Amino acid sequence: MNCNTEKNNKVYVYGEIVSEAQFSHEVYGEGFYEFYVKVMRLSGQADILPVTVSERIMTEDMKPGGTICALGQFRSYNKLEGGKSRLMLTVFVRELLDEQPGKNPNSVVLSGYICKPPVYRTTPFNREIADLLIAVNRSYNKSDYIPAIAWGRNARFVRNLSVGDKVALSGRIQSREYQKKQPDESFVTMTAYEVSVSKLAAFDDDSEFDIDEEFDLYSVSRVYENNE
């Protein structure tokens, strides 16, 4: 798939728009709007993802019940809520497509640096999981901080990585609800967004690598694919 996005952060999504567009922000006179898109998984479940689109490429069809097929980037920004800074994530659309280029309606490819020690754990059913946070460089000396979750042997591999290690990964963006405890002991349902990793590679040097074509990481060392 060809697009004009930076090669270290590529996203493709295809799904149904399920909310009205709301004004998000303005940059140099250009307005941006955010809405939510339902993207189906192969399992039949769905991820509800936030999508940000410039007013310059918005169409009349971008309303609930319509569909969007787009290429872009998975970006982060900080938002103040209740006096605290919260990491927000969104699919930032760079290019609209007329048709779906592949069978997978939700795919993401990232390369960057581990910026927090990975957290490895096992579930009560003995399934291995590792959480990691990737700093992905962007133009103008900015970075996006993307949470990701690895499973099985990917998780075992990730637990041995360190802050500053260079990695590349592919997978899908998933939404996940969780319960957050409030000061009054009540619980509020929140939604987290993260990359569910399917392939992962670590790089032992600072050499450039090419992930332009379908995340071909087999030309580099230490590649793991989740097939569990």
Q: Where are the domains of the chain?
A: 9-102, 109-225
Q: Catalogue the E-assigned strands of the chain.
A: 9-17, 22-27, 30-40, 46-54, 67-81, 84-96, 106-114, 119-122, 128-138, 142-151, 166-181, 187-203, 223-225
Supply 84's token pair. 């605290």
Three-point CA angle 139, 39, 114, nearest 5° = 40
Whole-number Å distance between alpha carbons of 6 and 12: 13
Distance CA 210, CA 206 (A): 13
- Same fold across 9-102 and 109-225: yes
**pLDDT band with cut points at 50, 70 and 90 for residue 53:** very high
Q: Which CATH superfamily is domain 9-102 in?
A: Nucleic acid-binding proteins (2.40.50.140)
pLDDT for 215: 45
Q: Determine how many CB atoms are found less than 10 A away from the CB of residue 188.
A: 9
- Specify whether the CB–CB gap between 190 and 177 falls below 8 A: yes
Residue 217 has pLDDT above 80, yes or no: no
What's the confidence (pLDDT) of residue 80? 75
pLDDT band at 205; cut points 50, 70, 90: low
Average pLDDT across the chain, whole number: 86
> How far apart are the C-alpha atoms of 193 and 62, rounded to whole Å?
22
- At 42 the pLDDT is 82
Is residue 139 scored above 90 in pLDDT? no
| Angstrom distances, CA of residue 55 to CA of 23, 40, 93, 145 | 9, 26, 11, 25
DSSP structure class, residue 221:
S
158 Cβ neighbours under 8 A, 6+ residues apart? 118, 120, 130, 132, 150, 200
- Which architecture does CATH list for 109-225? Beta Barrel (2.40)
**pTM given for the model:** 0.85
Tens digit of pLDDT for each residue in 68-99?
A: 999 999 999 987 777 788 889 999 999 999 87
Strand, helix or coil for residue 100: coil
